[in-house]
Amino acid sequence: MTIKEAQEMVDEWINTTGVRYFNELTNTAMLMEEVGEVARIMARKYGEQSFKKSDESVNLPDEMADVLFVLICLANQTGIDLTEALEKNLEKKNIRDKDRHKNNEKLK
């Protein structure tokens, strides 16, 4: 699936099953909530925190998909083509960071 196809699929789902988009502010708050859920799992799985009994059924891929879904919703609502945005962002990084990471002693 391409990013464009994902944006179209989410839009179709929202306009049929989801009825309509939540407003942009609500979706921004939901995005923060979903990112927080990913952070919680990461802190427990890869960090020093331990899992609680209520964390036993966590599903990192599903939580990451929730983040992506809400981000796509926001892109659709604000008229952003995520393929184009990512391409431009990578072009910027290629120019700005051409030698930056290669010369970073912390990464060697």
pLDDT in tens, the chain (108 residues): 999 999 999 999 999 999 999 999 999 999 999 999 999 999 999 999 998 888 778 999 999 999 999 999 999 999 999 999 999 999 999 999 888 888 888 888
Residues in the chain: 108
Question: From CA 34, how far away is CA 24, in angstroms rounded?
Answer: 15
Residue 8 lies in a domain: yes
Closest CA to 64 of 79, 42, 46: 42
Q: What does the pLDDT read at residue 55? A: 79
Eight-state DSSP code of residue 20: S
The domain that holds 48 is classified in CATH as 1.10.287.1080
Q: What does the pLDDT read at residue 24? A: 98
Q: Residue type at 6?
A: A
Residue 11 lies in a domain: yes
Residue 97 lies in a domain: no
Range of the domain at 50: 3-81
Residue 32 lies in a domain: yes
Task: Determine the angle formed by the axes of helices 82-96 and 3-16, rounding to 10 degrees.
Answer: 140
Whole-model pTM? 0.89
The total domain count for the chain is 1
